[in-house]
Structure 1
Amino acid sequence: MTKILMVCLGNICRSPLAEGILKSKLSNDFIVDSAGTANYHVGSAPDKRSIAVARKHGLDISNLSGRQFDSSDFDVFDMIYVMDDSNFQNIVKLARNDEDIVKVKLILNEVHPNKNYEVPDPYYGGDHGFENVYQMLDEACDNIVKKLI
């Protein structure tokens, strides 16, 4: 069973959206989860704007709960997708060896290989930013699914 983790800063905007999108595209033969590099929102539901944009696209992420990434996640997950370079650097700092590091990838490299584009954090922007992030993640998740199936 393949296990995939989506990571952003607070685990309330981008990574729960990515989790919900990828889960909707995969069978139960896969486990998809999300986490944040910071502990600001541990136990919190996703941002209401993430919930709304997901719902607009037929997904319900309202039951997800924020949690912080832990180095033990390297033992659990086969792939760790991060939303931006800051998340990448924070996760790699927790890596214990090269095997951990090779699991960590910028998610938009699934759409634009080796370009290292970042998914912008929509938290301080308007609703349009959440729709933009949804579209980016949806395309990246389509490409992840093509690789997995």
Structure 2
Amino acid sequence: MSADRVTDPGPFRVTFVCTGNICRSPMGEIVLRALAEDAGWGGRLTVTSSGTGGWHAGDPADPRTVAALDRAGYDGAAHRAAQVTDADIAENDLIIALARDHERALLAAGAPRDRLVLLTDFDPDQPADPDVFDPYFSDDAAFDAVLAQVERASRALLASLEPRLRSGH
């Protein structure tokens, strides 16, 4: 192999993390993946999600999450919840916490500060509350509002990642 040949580092890996991986983080995963595919970055970006707790591991997304995604044109039916692992922390290029308590849990689990961000850091509306609201104990309107925030922030997130995707990281 010649010295001037660049080895492809593989896709840029992003993971979203919330509490149980049935409401907010699946929205982030599904939305960012769809936006990346629509923009032609599907092969350069791998998107996953998990939760800080394992209560729902193996379960589908909350039915209200799936319904909100469906109303917006996304398919969340295949999602299955997982708990974040040490491998998730080690292998992802960017770890996106949906709230500050997730961020604290991830830092305590060894997530590097330079690869950990809050999703609201990308929200162009700059909400006063840096936590994406947990709609679990709320109604369909709350799920729709959370999805709108996730979409808004994910669009800005993808735009910020495009130079890295173009250059191969």
Q: Same fold (TM over 0.5)?
A: yes
Write the distance in 2 (CA, Å) between the matches of 1:58 and 1:115.
Answer: 28
Write the distance in 2 (CA, Å) between the matches of 1:66 and 1:28.
Answer: 23
Matched, 1:120 2:133: yes
The equivalent position to 2:144 in structure 1, one of 115, 118, 131, is 131
Percent identity, please. 25
Contact 1:49 1:127 in 2 (8 A): yes
What is the alpha-carbon root mean square deviation over aligned residues? 1.6
Gaps of 5+ in 2: 1-10, 37-41, 163-169
Matched, 1:109 2:121: yes
Partner of 1:147: 160
Q: How far is 1:121 from its partner? A: 0.3
Matched, 1:13 2:23: yes
Write the distance in 1 (CA, Å) between the matches of 2:131 and 2:69.
Answer: 20
Q: How far is 1:88 from its partner? A: 0.6
Which range is displaced more, 48-57 or 109-118?
A: 109-118
Q: How many residues align?
A: 146
SS of 1:133 mapped into structure 2 = helix
SS of 1:5 mapped into structure 2 = strand
Write the distance in 2 (CA, Å) between the matches of 1:66 and 1:15.
Answer: 9
Partner of 2:8: none
Question: Equivalent residues in 2 for 1:1-149 (5 A)?
Answer: 1-26=11-36, 27-95=42-110, 100-111=112-123, 117-149=130-162
Write the distance in 2 (CA, Å) between the matches of 1:19 and 1:95.
Answer: 22
Superposition TM-score, scaled by structure 2 size? 0.82
Gaps of 5+ in 1: none
* Corresponding letter in the other structure for 2:31: I
Flag the structure with larger Rg.
Answer: 2
